[in-house]
Amino acid sequence: MYFVLLTNSKSKEMKKSILAFIIICVCTAAVLKAQDTVRVKVLGKNVVTVVEGGDRTDVKIGNNAIDIKDGHGDTVKVRVGRKALVIADGRHGSDIKFENLDDNEYKSWTGHSARFKGHWAAVEMGINSFANVNYKGFIPNFMDLNQNKSFEISVNFLRYSIGLQKEKRNIGLVTGLGLTYNDYRFSNAYTIENDNGLVKPVSLNMTGLSKSKLSTTYLTVPFMLEFQIPVDGHNKRLYFSGGVIGGLKVGSHTKVKMDGNKSKSRDDFNINPFRYGATTRIGYKGINLFGTYYFSTFFKNGRGPEMFPFTIGIGLMNW
């Protein structure tokens, strides 16, 4: 019984505290509303700010801004970032559509110029291969690839852009972070193993063999200079970028499928844990073509054949 009474007492105190907090918030809002501004503060910080003026209402939630504007002909625009939701009332009901704001519209909404936004964050797919292959000291051609089934998939999930112009946003630096998965499908009946610090081929029975491949996963970091050319308005841009790219290997394995059975072996296989090279991209809106060539050898020096990986492909869904 004592526990129940204590719990009820605490519950009543909590309800009183919440009620008092709500009353304070409402009173504060009422005072500021007379000035066409409403602010809701928690621990001394603005959580929500609403400013009304003329045909426009600005709502700021934390660091995110949402602007609402009453236009001509019963039209309302709601801006979030560089996109606007347009609601227009007509004879046959309301028409709703999305628009991308060009530089001038963005400045009229926010009062400042749009910032440079580079291109890196995307899903990219490409074809892998090796250049300048030298098998000296090793069994020839065991790393020959089936090009149609040797692919790369990258998810570039983090982008950071630095504009280099004060008044325009056509030139800037781009960096970020991505996760890159490379598949190297062997064309011959081989897999590989690490034999006393050297890469050695392992011969497989061609009968019943349906797949043999080597896979690697890298964390990827680029540093690129990007040029943008406005096309059909400031918001649609053709872009070209180029620079250096590096990677840190986080995993590698071989996989063999024979007679319906699968076997997988995880090892470093003397593959270089770090790689660096050059990369370039050309694109328009959400699509780009890219090429990457690595100056570091695929295997550690002297531990395997000398070969330099490269990839060409396409990027989709830039964000």
Phi (first) and psi of residue 22, to 5 degrees: -65, -40
- Model confidence at 1, pLDDT cuts 50, 70, 90, reads very low
C-alpha distance from residue 146 to each of 128, 251, 254, 318 (Å): 10, 22, 15, 29
Above 80 in pLDDT, residue 275? Answer: yes
Q: Show the tokens assigned to 141.
A: 């051609």
- Model confidence at 135, pLDDT cuts 50, 70, 90, reads very high
Q: Tokens 């034999």, residue?
A: 195
- Model confidence at 15, pLDDT cuts 50, 70, 90, reads low
- DSSP letter at 116 equals P
Q: Show the tokens assigned to 32.
A: 């500021």
Ranking 42-51, 163-172, 176-185 by mean pLDDT, the lowest is 42-51
- Model confidence at 280, pLDDT cuts 50, 70, 90, reads very high
Per-residue pLDDT at 266? 94
Q: With contact defined as beta carbons under 8 Å apart, do 48 and 39 qualify?
A: yes
State pLDDT tens for residues 231-264: 876 567 899 999 999 999 999 999 999 988 999 9
Above 80 in pLDDT, residue 125? Answer: yes
- Model confidence at 7, pLDDT cuts 50, 70, 90, reads very low
Give 170-209 as a 3 state SS string.
Answer: CEEEEEEEEEEEEEEEECCCEEEEEECCEEEEEECCCCCE
Q: With contact defined as beta carbons under 8 Å apart, do 172 and 164 qualify?
A: yes
What is the C-alpha to C-alpha distance for residues 21 and 33, in angstroms, rounded to an integer? 18
Average per-residue pLDDT for the chain: 82
Sign of CA dihedral 9, 12, 17, 18: positive
Per-residue pLDDT at 208? 85
Residue 245: CB atoms within 10 A of its CB come to 21
State pLDDT tens for residues 57-81: 666 665 555 666 665 556 777 776 6
Looking at per-residue confidence, does 218 or 44 come out higher?
218
Q: Tokens 């790219």, residue?
A: 245
What is the C-alpha to C-alpha distance for residues 13 and 99, in angstroms, rounded to an integer? 50
Above 90 in pLDDT, residue 207? Answer: no
146-170: average pLDDT: 92
Of 316, 291, 301, residue with least CA distance to 122: 316
What is the C-alpha to C-alpha distance for residues 141 and 305, in angstroms, rounded to an integer? 9
16-42: average pLDDT: 54
Per-residue pLDDT at 180? 96
83-89: average pLDDT: 73
List, in order, residues 6 or more apart from 193 with CB less than 8 Å away. 199, 200, 202, 254, 265, 267, 269
C-alpha distance from residue 189 to each of 130, 235, 244, 258 (Å): 18, 51, 35, 11
Above 50 in pLDDT, residue 29? Answer: no
155-171: average pLDDT: 91
Looking at per-residue confidence, does 79 or 56 come out higher?
79
What is the C-alpha to C-alpha distance for residues 192 and 220, in angstroms, rounded to an integer? 25
